[in-house]
Amino acid sequence: MSLKTFEEYNHYVRQYADSLEMKYLRRKTLYISVIFSMLTIPIVLALYNYGFPFGHIGIYVLSVLMLVFINLAFFKYDNIFMDIKLGIKVTTLGIYLLSMSLIVDIQSPSIFAILFVVYALVSIYQDRTTTILNNILLFLIGSVIIIFYPNIIQTIDIDNTQVFYVYLFIAIFVALLSLAFSILIKRKQYFYYQIAKIKEDEVRNIQLLIELKANYKRSDYNFSQYYDLISDFTDEFCKRRGIKNPFQERLLIINRLHDVDVDKFNNYSSELLDSIKRLSQLILKENSKIHHLILKASENAVNNNENKPIKLFNQFSSFKHVYDEKYIKILTFAVFYTSLKMPKIYLDKLSGEEILHTIKNHDFKHLFDADILDVYLDNWNLIDKMVEDELSKLVKT
């Protein structure tokens, strides 16, 4: 049994999870641009009231516009600005530098908290490296101001403890929010992974269903006859409409391509190759996307669930639900493991090494209770032998 398909599965899941993250990250660049622009309005008013000249205020406005432009460019033109994470980091750095110059310009303790507001704004990205950068910049710029511009945070009631406490507060603020966002980001990425996983699981489940169905039918799917039927249908359709038949040529090519490997046309011109590839998408085969699409569509039929109503027990299936007793967790591990050792119509019997590899190196390890998993990893050989011994009796009988 090949584990290549396992690797392909992981590849698709990782790619889709990454693309989901990028999609939401791109969307967040838009939100941040809007919030950032809105925040600029009261800041400009404050600067005006502090008596700053228009030229000075203009520099701030231009800087904001530039950052917003960078964000929007990454949002809108993803084909040119592909490395969105770079754009996010540039924006983060820019926002912090702007806020630092505001603090230095205004020279008032009241504006110091803008660093916290900037932190909140940047945290919307919920990106791991940006969060680290966010923490570093807050701490660094906070320290620069406290050390090099101590008069900024001095109020009329000057107190010696003040600097220490401001430092302490920044440290607690950063520590708490780092923890909060570390948990949030981990869970968000896990959720993206779960979405990607269930989408790929759907593809694989449909494929399993297709194969089981073919087994059950005792015959292959006869899709090539569909082309003749559609040819007759389109003939009459075009005659009735009095139009030239655009389907015949397509159907002929699709029919000819049905049992041909499209890769063999690789030396054709790119234009022709593109047309062949496009039409090859329309070939209805056992393992084709269209077949998957049709089977998925059939689940929308109204009477579909008449036979067995579906029960959804938990959002994420696993063998380690907190409300399950340890006994249940042990039993379910034993059932799962032994079932993999049994030859089934849809899955051959697996060796102990194959099971170990797939559990240890793939996400399956997260499905089990950590203690039970440890027992298995420490004793996999023994457990496997135990099951093999029992099942070999089955073969003998």
Which of positions 228-267 make contact with another protein (CB under 8 A)? 229-230, 232-234, 236-237, 240, 246-247, 250-251, 254
Residues 128-157 that bind another protein (CB under 8 A): 151-157
The set of residues, in sequence order, having a beta carbon less than 8 Å from that of 40 and lying 6+ positions away, is: 60, 61, 64
Burial of 96 (0-12, 13-18, 19+ CB in 10 A): buried
Out of 132, 191, 360, 377, name the contact with another protein by CB under 8 A. Answer: 191
> 36 with 121: CB under 8 angstroms?
yes
How many CB atoms are located within 10 Å of the residue 280 CB? 18
SS3 assignment, position 316? coil
Q: Does 382 bind another protein (CB under 8 A)?
A: yes
Q: How far apart are the first and last CA of the chain?
A: 26
> Nearest approach, Cβ of 87 to another protein (angstroms)?
18
Out of 90, 128, 149, 194, name the contact with another protein by CB under 8 A. Answer: 194
Q: Does 310 bind another protein (CB under 8 A)?
A: yes
Nearer to another protein by C-beta: 66 or 124? 124
Out of 144, 209, 260, 377, name the contact with another protein by CB under 8 A. Answer: 209
- Spatial separation of the C-alpha atoms in residues 367 and 386, rounded to whole Å: 22
Q: Does 288 bind another protein (CB under 8 A)?
A: yes
Q: Does 337 bind another protein (CB under 8 A)?
A: yes
Q: Does 175 bind another protein (CB under 8 A)?
A: yes
> Nearest approach, Cβ of 61 to another protein (angstroms)?
18
- How large is the angle between the packed helices 161-217 and 289-298, nearest 10 degrees? 90
Nearer to another protein by C-beta: 46 or 57? 46
Angle 378-350-315 (CA atoms, 0-180°, nearest 5)?
A: 75
Question: Considering only CA atoms, which of 327, 331, 324, 316 is closest in space to residue 367?
Answer: 316
- Spatial separation of the C-alpha atoms in residues 336 and 68, rounded to whole Å: 53
Residue identified by tokens 């701030």 is 60
> Nearest approach, Cβ of 137 to another protein (angstroms)?
16
Question: Considering only CA atoms, which of 274, 293, 273 is closest in space to residue 284?
Answer: 293
- Spatial separation of the C-alpha atoms in residues 188 and 168, rounded to whole Å: 30
Amino acid at 338: T
Q: Which stretch binds another protein (CB under 8 A): 78-86, 128-136, 199-207, 265-273?
A: 199-207
> 332 with 319: CB under 8 angstroms?
yes
Out of 28, 133, 141, 146, name the contact with another protein by CB under 8 A. Answer: 28
Nearer to another protein by C-beta: 76 or 385? 385
Out of 166, 273, 276, 356, name the contact with another protein by CB under 8 A. Answer: 166
Nearer to another protein by C-beta: 133 or 350? 350
Residues 91-120 that bind another protein (CB under 8 A): 107-114, 116-117, 120
Question: Considering only CA atoms, which of 395, 384, 392, 386 is closest in space to residue 352?
Answer: 384
Q: Which stretch binds another protein (CB under 8 A): 57-65, 89-97, 174-182, 259-267?
A: 174-182
Question: Considering only CA atoms, which of 160, 18, 1 is closest in space to residue 85?
Answer: 18
> Nearest approach, Cβ of 149 to another protein (angstroms)?
11
**H/E run at residue 358:** helix 352-360
> Nearest approach, Cβ of 351 to another protein (angstroms)?
13
The first and second tokens of residue 159, run together, are 């107190």
DSSP assigned state of 90: H
The set of residues, in sequence order, having a beta carbon less than 8 Å from that of 267 and lying 6+ positions away, is: none
Total residues found in the chain within this entry: 397
Q: Which stretch binds another protein (CB under 8 A): 55-63, 73-81, 130-138, 223-231?
A: 223-231
Residues 30-59 that bind another protein (CB under 8 A): 31, 35, 39, 42, 46, 49-50
Q: Does 199 bind another protein (CB under 8 A)?
A: yes
Out of 189, 224, 255, 351, name the contact with another protein by CB under 8 A. Answer: 189
Q: Does 205 bind another protein (CB under 8 A)?
A: yes
The first and second tokens of residue 72, run together, are 């929007």
> Residues touching another protein: how many (CB under 8 A)?
179
Residue identified by tokens 């680290």 is 132
Out of 2, 219, 266, 269, name the contact with another protein by CB under 8 A. Answer: 2
Nearer to another protein by C-beta: 76 or 348? 348
Q: Does 342 bind another protein (CB under 8 A)?
A: yes
Q: Does 271 bind another protein (CB under 8 A)?
A: no
